[in-house]
Amino acid sequence: MTLLIFIIAAVLIGYWLSRSKYQQSIDNTASQIATSSQSWTATVENWWKSSILKRTSTEQFTSWVSVDGQDLLPAEFNTWYNDLSESEKEDYSNQLQKNFNEKGLELKDLVQGKFQNQPARMQVYVEAIVVTSQEFRKTREVEEPKSIKKENSKPKTVEKKTAEKQTSRRRKANPDASEVTA
């Protein structure tokens, strides 16, 4: 009986607090707790992905392009990147990493989400990605005709024609009596 009275009292106090002047401060506190737990969860998730899972840079970049970069990168880039084979994605990722290192930028910082609250820096990274993709495409276009020329310059083997059997000329001139039907 005492437990039932205690539960009813807790419900009534909760209802009274939700309708009273304390409602605004309770809502603010609840939203602060939710926001801090979301940021803490995101931090732990990024730490987990970067240190425990140890994905390759290509896998990290591919997942970033499909999730976070979807809204930042041009649609043309997204379709082009998704159409690449795994080896081409690896080549592009290596070239992108090399270009970023030459400019003093770190691709892993972008992939790990360190620039979420820095739109100007994020824009620099996005532009560098797009420029590198254009450079990568043009390089591939130049390399493809060279590989085609190498294939065409290989010496051709002479094809030998096999002898075809011909019917006997005698047979045509003098058909056997058994073949003639009257």
Quick: pLDDT tens for 83-124: 888 888 888 888 888 888 888 888 888 887 888 888 888 888
Q: In the block, which residue shows the tokens 């390089």?
A: 139
Position 161 in a domain: no
User: Which residues span the domain enclosing 101?
Assistant: 55-149
Q: How many CB atoms lie within 10 A of CB 140?
A: 13
Beta carbons within 10 angstroms of residue 65's beta carbon:
19
Check whether residue 126 and residue 69 sit in a common domain: yes
Q: What is the pLDDT of residue 11?
A: 92
Q: Is residue 4 part of a domain?
A: no
At residue 66, the 3 state secondary structure works out as: helix
Evaluate whether residue 182 is within a structural domain. no
Query: How many Å apart are CA 139 and CA 158, to the nearest integer?
Result: 35
Specify the pLDDT at position 5.
Answer: 95
d(CA 30, CA 51): 31
- Radius of gyration of the chain measured on its C-alpha atoms: 36
Is 22 a domain residue? Answer: yes
- Domains in the chain: how many in total? 2
pLDDT, greater one: 12 or 149:
12
Assigned domain for 90 exists: yes
State how far the Cα of 130 lies from the Cα of 98, in Å rounded to an integer: 14
The kind and range of the H/E element at 121 are helix 119-152
CB 132 within 8 A of CB 95: yes
- pLDDT, one tens digit per residue, over 5-61 is 999 999 998 887 777 777 777 778 878 887 777 778 888 877 766 666 556 677 778
Q: Examine the pLDDT at 158 and tell me if it is beyond 70.
A: no
42 and 91 together in one domain: no
Rounded to whole angstroms, the Cα distance separating 37 from 34 reads: 5
Q: Token digits for 124?
A: 């620099």
* 8 A C-beta contact, residue 55 and residue 49: yes
Query: Is residue 135's pLDDT more than 80?
Result: yes
